[in-house]
Structure 1
């Protein structure tokens, strides 16, 4: 049984580890990626501000992934899909769809559009974004923190 809930302070370490393990296993543990985000192991605090939220999926009492929405840079109208990661061994079971639905509902409530920066090599993730109506961009939106990324998506609500 999988349960979705808002991130709690006790989740900080495990969520940070899931993000880093996922990126490292794909050779994407690079400067300019979420791997080195300064708040990666304190996500609970980061997502307590207005127009930010992060959800985790728990299976049999164990956190298996998560996803967040927050502001993109200084923009008041553009939200960003942030840190959508599922443990490798749990992928392919539709869990990302649960998180995407929740995240996009929240984003639509608080923003006029949503942005994602990612990598071309993450083909399954990119298919997921397109399935949810994101359009591929030719370049990042000004203000992106993840300058190592080579693929960008944008969705208007």
Structure 2
């Protein structure tokens, strides 16, 4: 039985490891990605307020096998950024990516956001496929982008 829940401080190491492992696998353990963000090892310090939330998914043994978050996007009106959707290899191909996107979009709507925005990279083709199938439309790179290595940008209206 899988369990979705909000991230706690106890999840910091597991989530950071999951993110780094995924980025390494796709050759994105490079400057300009979340891999080198100073706060990656302490994500629970950033999330957990109304404008920013992060959720993890645990397997039947209580192991974190995935996560997804959102944060208010300052440079787009009524928009939250879908952040850090990562799954353990054991969970990939199971449909959990779609479930996590549906979960976070519902949380964004509940927080009052009208749009979801996200950034990704060409190396993450499976993720791009999931985003497109989930209704995200590719947009031009916003000038305010922080993670300079990201090269694909998407937005979706949360109806």
Whether these two folds match at TM > 0.5 is yes
CA distance in 2, matches of 1:147, 1:5: 30
For the Cα contact (< 8 Å) 2:4–2:57, is it kept in 1?
A: yes
User: 1:8 aligned to 2:20?
Assistant: no
* Residues 99-133 of structure 1, C-alpha deviations (whole Å, 9 max, x = no match): 11110111223212111110122111111111111
Normalization by structure 2: what TM-score? 0.91
SS at match of 1:57: strand
Alignment partner of 1:31 is 2:31: yes
Check conservation: 1:73, 1:143, Cα contact below 8 A.
Answer: no
Distance 1:88 1:145 in 2: 27
The answer on whether the counterparts of 2:98 and 2:134 sit within 8 Å (CA) in structure 1 is: no
Question: Which runs of 5 or more residues in structure 2 are unaligned?
Answer: none
Unaligned runs of 5+ in 1: none
Q: Hey, what does 2:62 align to over in structure 1?
A: 61
Q: Which residue of 2 aligns with 1:91?
A: 92
Is contact 1:73–1:144 with CA below 8 Å preserved after alignment? no
Name the CA distance, whole Å, in 2 between partners of 1:35 and 1:125. Answer: 17
Aligned length: 156
Alpha-carbon distance change, 76 to 12 in structure 1, aligned in 2, over 3 angstroms:
farther
- 1:21 partner SS: helix
TM-score by length of 1: 0.93
Deviation >6 Å, runs of 4+: none
Q: Give 1:89 deviation, angstroms.
A: 2.5
Distance 1:74 1:42, change over 3 A: farther
CA distance in 2, matches of 1:133, 1:108: 15
Tell me how far 1:75 sits from its aligned partner: 4.7
Q: How far did 1:4 drift?
A: 0.6
CA RMSD between the two structures:
1.4
Partner of 1:143: 144
CA contact (8 A) 1:113 1:155 kept: yes
